[in-house]
């Protein structure tokens, strides 16, 4: 039997955070967009499967950047 590997602790996997509905609304209004204008991420994506996301939830991805130290990206969860 294979052991489960926790990919979220891997150095190459950026931090993924499930935003609350209120936080998601703030992000959408800040950028003056609607959810279908965000890039998509599958709810089955191994990096977010532990968050138990629902379709339509917004995920914040914090990546390390050589110029900006950290940068935030947002994705909307889709059924896939």
Q: Structural domain boundaries of the chain?
A: 7-78
What are the tens digits of pLDDT across the range 20-66?
Answer: 999 999 999 999 999 999 999 999 999 999 999 999 999 999 999 88
Would you identify the CATH topology of the domain 7-78? Eukaryotic RPB6 RNA polymerase subunit (3.90.940)
pLDDT for 62: 96
Closest by CA position to 58, among listed 17, 30, 12: 17
Strand, helix or coil at 28? helix
Q: Token pair for residue 24?
A: 């998601």
- Whole-structure pTM value: 0.89
Strand, helix or coil at 74? strand
Helices (H), 1-80: 21-31
Edge-first strand listing for the sheet containing 15-18: 15-18, 58-65, 69-78, 40-42
């Amino acid at each position: 039997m294979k052991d489960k590997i926790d990919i979220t602790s891997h150095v190459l996997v950026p931090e993924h955070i499930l935003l609350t509905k209120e936080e998601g609304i703030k992000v959408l209004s800040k950028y003056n967009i609607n959810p279908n204008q965000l890039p998509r991420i599958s709810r089955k994506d191994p990096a977010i499967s532990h968050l138990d996301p629902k379709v339509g939830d917004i995920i914040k991805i914090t990546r390390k950047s050589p110029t900006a130290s950290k940068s935030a990206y947002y994705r909307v969860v889709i059924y896939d």
